[in-house]
Structures are given as structure tokens and as C-alpha cells.
A and B are shown apart, each in its own frame.
Chain A
Amino acid sequence: MTEAMKASGCPVSHTDYRVERPIFETYELLNADREAGPLLWNDSTRRPFWMVTEYDHVVEALQMPDVFGNEVLSALAPKHALDLLPNYLNPPEHTTMRKVLNRWFSPAAVRRLEPQVLSHCVELIEELAPKGGCDLVAEFAIRFPTDMFLATLDLPLTDGEEFLYWVEKIFKGFAGKEPEESARAVEWIRGYFDRAIADRERAPRDTETDFISRMLVSDLDGTPISREDIITICLTLMTAGLDTTRSALGYIFHHLSRDPDLRHRLTADPSLWPIAVEELIRLYPLVFQEGRLVKQDIVFHGLPMKKGDILWLGLASANHDPKKFADPRAFDIERDHINHHLAFGAGPHRCLGMHLARHELVIALTEWHKRIPDYEIATEEQLYERGAQLSINKLPLRWEI
């Protein structure tokens, strides 16, 4: 317990958010913590941290990169196991690198990718439809974004299977499982991107359409991006884009499988999918562990924080804050400020892939429900969610064929 914490007299949370729990239990715990106070001290990890639980405070802190720095990204794992770029940078270096990356993930770029996303998605669904059932998580939710990631980077979709095998090992590592396998997986994937770079060095591609070729000729205020950094950027895009999309689809399909009226309404009027997706990702935020390093002594809303302290910015807690969203646990596409949710964060580090993610989700849901409008959960057993960053472990579905 720090002196500052004692002096603040703020409530203490002992909840360990790293552990696997029955599905939705994490949200219950987050709500309980928010109800205990806007600012808490959490002592469940080796390096305890301040928790910011309310919407307004979270946004404010996200917009203060000079005070709350990105040297720490997860309040639950402040010592990072994996280098991530540009995530660990602060402005102005962060701004410079984002400028190089933004155009690959902008709505304009996403629109260019649309025909490929659409046809591939339809292919996957049509492969599953005659089976009458599947594990949504393993057979659809992860395959779709993996292939989309490969397409975005102009890498062969035929690499998907092998790529996925290693990607899964990295995600297990996030949850603290099989660290050696995870390290091997990082090595394999770095090697994969290294080979992709070598291919392009041998046979240069169009820098307007090929991501890696563009990275090879891009510079950050006059300095070329090093090969190691290009590999790290690719690895970061992969870890950021695949698990989150898979997890979002898991929670969304779980919700829809239990609400046939909503499913029928959306299937009948597909123009509602974009707004429904906003509300569903508000309702089921995944990245709830967002952390920052306090870079100078500061009093934040009456709470004295010391340089070197760790801050948890409650993105998920904020999404369920009744001061911001009335009746927050209800699905309501009519609600005020529906897209103010923090599922993609805010401030300079807001999710780079947010436009691609939204697009992928809308396309996946639209095309799925055109072909498989009715389905149900095919198991009575308890489903679980991963700690550290939420994800449903599996979601067996069945439907009539």
C-alpha cells in the first residue's frame, strides 16, 4: 500500500481480472468495482494499480498522453512480454508512425478491400451452412479475421491455416499459458514476416497497394523504418486484429442466439446492422485492461498519484457506466450517444483497426444471417471467458438444414 493510497482513502478492489471466469462474470465484477467508487486501488497483482472506473474520467485520462504514458499498456501485465508498435510509443513519435499506418486502415482503404472481404466471408459461411452446426469461435470467428488480415497485408490466404496454428499459441500466452510455446510462436511469426519482407526486397511490389513494400520505403521524419520494426508492426497488427474480432463475434453471436426477436428484426432490415454492431460492441467490450504509466506526480480528481504508478483505464467499465449510458446493460439501438462507447478506446491511441473491425463485423453478421437466420446454442455446459482480455472460449451453435 503506497502512502498516496493511504492518504487518498479510496476504496480497495481485490478482484483479480486475469483469471478465466464463467461468461459475463467479469462485467459483473467491473460493475461492482465502479459502484464502489470512481477511483479505486487494486491490489490483486504484484504491481497494484489505480482504477479509473467512470466514463468521463476514462476519456479525460485517455486524452492526457503527456501525463499518462503508453510505456504500460495493460494494467494487469505492466511488464510487456511482447513488443508492440506503435502502441508503446508516445506522441510525437507515436503520431509520426500512426500517420504512416492510418491510410491502410482508413474507411477509404476498407472500402477498397470490401469486394475481397465480402466474397471470402460468403465462402466461409456457405462452407458451414450445410453442416447444421459449428463451434462459432474456432470455425468462423477466428478464420474470417485471419484471412482478412492476410488480405490487408497482401499475404497469401493459403497461409491461413499454418498462420492460425501459431497465432493461437500466442493468444494462449496472453492468458499466461504455455509461455515457451508462445515464445516459439512469436519467433515463427516474426520469421514469417521476415520472409515476406525478403520476398518484396527481391521483387518489389506497388507501394500504393502493398503494405510491406510501402513500409520499406516509408520514413519517420526522415529515418527509414528498420526491418525489425516493420516485423514488430506486422506482429502488432496481427495480435491486435485477430483475437479481438474473434472475441467480438463470440459475444455478439451469443447475444443473438438468445434473442430471436432482435435477430429477426436485423435479418429483415440489414441496414440496421451498423448501428446494432455499435451497440453490441458497447455492450460487450473486450479490452478492459487498458493501462498507462503515470509520468509525473499529479492529483487526478482529488486522488494524488505518483510518478511511476500504474493506472487502469476502465474502458469496459465506462461502457456500462449508467451516468453515461442509461440502462447500460440493455441492448438499445435508439440510445443517446450510441457510438461514444470506448470499445476502441479514445485519444491518440484509439484503435487503428476500428474501421476495418466495424466493417468486418457488419459484413460477417449481414452475410451470416442471410444464410443462417436461425440458430441456437448447442450445449448446456457452462461457457467461460478468458481473463486479461475477454474472449469466449467456444460457442457451439446448431441450426436446421
Chain B
Amino acid sequence: MGSELFVDAAKCTGHGRCYSTSPGLLSDDEEGFVTLRGSSMAIEDEQLADAEQAVAACPERAISLTRSR
């Protein structure tokens, strides 16, 4: 199993720091929330650095990365 990035909809309030920090990985919707809000995505090895940056950028601690191999 690979790594997974998850955005907790209960905590995400749309600061937009994740998609600003990692625009290649995440994007914003019309309301300004990350499109991944409330769901998760598989993260390939080459996307790990971007995913970690997005996690670190969130002031609400709404994003988590589960790493497994």
C-alpha cells in the first residue's frame, strides 16, 4: 500500500495555504477550499515532498499524510 493524503473537512476552513504551497499537487475550488477537502488521495513517491509541504502549511492541522510501505 502507498501513502495517502487526507483533508479533514471538519477542520479545513479554507486558508488555502496547502494549494498555494503545493500547487502541483492540490488545487482550489470556487469557494476557496482545497478540492481534496473531505477526501483522500494516493501519493506517489515523487509527490511525497509536495504532500509533506502541504501538511506543514496548514494552520488548522487539517491535513494528514499516512505513509506506509
Residues of chain A having any CB pair with chain B under 8 Å: 59, 63, 99, 102-103, 105-109, 337, 339-342, 344, 346-348, 350, 354-355
Contacts and interface: CB of A to CB of B under 8 A. Distances in A.
B28 A59 contact: no
A340 B30 contact: no
B59 A342 contact: yes
B13 A347 contact: yes
A102 B31 CA distance: 5
A contact face: mostly helix, strand, loop, or mixed: helix
A103 B30 contact: yes
Contacts of A106: 14, 28-32
A74 to B, nearest CB: 21
Contacts of A344: 15
A182 B30 CA distance: 36
B32 A63 contact: no
Given A107-B16, A339-B17, A347 B60 contact: yes
Chain B: number of interface residues, binned into ranges:
10 to 19
A59 B60 CA distance: 8
B32 A346 contact: no
Given A103-B31, A355-B16, 8 more contacts: A102-B32, A106-B29, A107-B32, A108-B28, A108-B29, A339-B59, A346-B59, A350-B15
Given A350-B13, A350-B15, A340 B28 contact: no
Contact of B32 (A108, A339, A342): A108
Contacts of B20: 107
A350 B15 CA distance: 8
A108 B21 CA distance: 16
Nearest to A110: B32
B63 interface: no
Contacts, number: 52
A96 to B, nearest CB: 13
12 contacts: A63-B11, A102-B14, A102-B31, A106-B31, A107-B28, A107-B32, A108-B28, A339-B15, A340-B59, A346-B15, A346-B60, A347-B60
A59 B31 CA distance: 23
A355 B59 contact: no
B13 A348 contact: yes
A292 to B, nearest CB: 16
B36 interface: no
Contacts of A109: 32
A321 to B, nearest CB: 14
B56 interface: yes
Contacts of B29: 106, 108
B32 A105 contact: yes
A340 B18 CA distance: 11
A225 B26 CA distance: 33
A106 B57 CA distance: 18
A59 B59 contact: yes
A181 to B, nearest CB: 36
B46 to A, nearest CB: 24
Nearest to A341: B59
Contacts of B28: 106-108
A59 B29 CA distance: 25
Contacts of B13: 346-348, 350
Contacts of A99: 31
A340 B61 CA distance: 10
Sorted nearest first, the 8 A-B pairs with minimum C-beta distance are: A106-B32, A102-B31, A340-B59, A350-B13, A339-B17, A103-B30, A103-B31, A107-B28
Contacts of A342: 59
A353 to B, nearest CB: 11
Contacts of B31: 99, 102-103, 106
A344 B32 CA distance: 15
A237 B60 CA distance: 24
A102 B20 CA distance: 17
B5 to A, nearest CB: 18
Interface string B44-69: 00000000000011011000000000
A109 B16 CA distance: 13
B57 A339 contact: yes
Contacts of A341: 59
Contacts of A354: 15-16
Contacts of B11: 63
A150 to B, nearest CB: 22
